[in-house]
Amino acid sequence: MENVEVRFFAAARAATKIEQITVDSATLLEILATCIATYPELERVIPQCSFLIDGTVNHDSSLVIKGGSQVDVLPKFAGG
């Protein structure tokens, strides 16, 4: 199985206390579940987040994220 890099920003980074994690390729929903299982504090942040897959906004949690891809977890930012 190929790996996906998940990068955390702002409140997501504060919840995980890390900048990134490497997980197995899966759907976005499965990847987020893996991240929450590893970093339970992330569960309160995820509902407020947007997700970029290789730099493109994604709203489909059933999308299979291919190995070698990058997922950015972006909470809402204050101020605009």
CA dihedral 13, 61, 48, 4 (to 10 degrees): 10
Longest Cα–Cα distance of the chain, Å, equals: 40
The length of the chain is 80
Task: State how far the Cα of 2 lies from the Cα of 36, in Å rounded to an integer.
Answer: 20
pLDDT digits (tens, 9 = 90+) for 11-35: 999 999 999 999 999 999 999 999 9
Cβ atoms of 19 and 72 closer than 8 Å = no
Number of domain units in the chain:
1
Instruction: Assess if residue 67 is contained within a domain.
Output: yes
Instruction: Assess if residue 42 is contained within a domain.
Output: yes
Instruction: Assess if residue 41 is contained within a domain.
Output: yes
Instruction: Assess if residue 46 is contained within a domain.
Output: yes
Instruction: Assess if residue 9 is contained within a domain.
Output: yes
pLDDT digits (tens, 9 = 90+) for 38-80: 999 999 999 999 999 999 999 899 999 999 999 999 998 755 4
For residue 18, what are the domain limits?
3-75
Instruction: Assess if residue 48 is contained within a domain.
Output: yes
Q: What is the pTM of this model?
A: 0.92
How close are the terminal C-alpha atoms of the chain, in Å?
A: 39
CATH number of residue 58's parent domain: 3.10.20.30
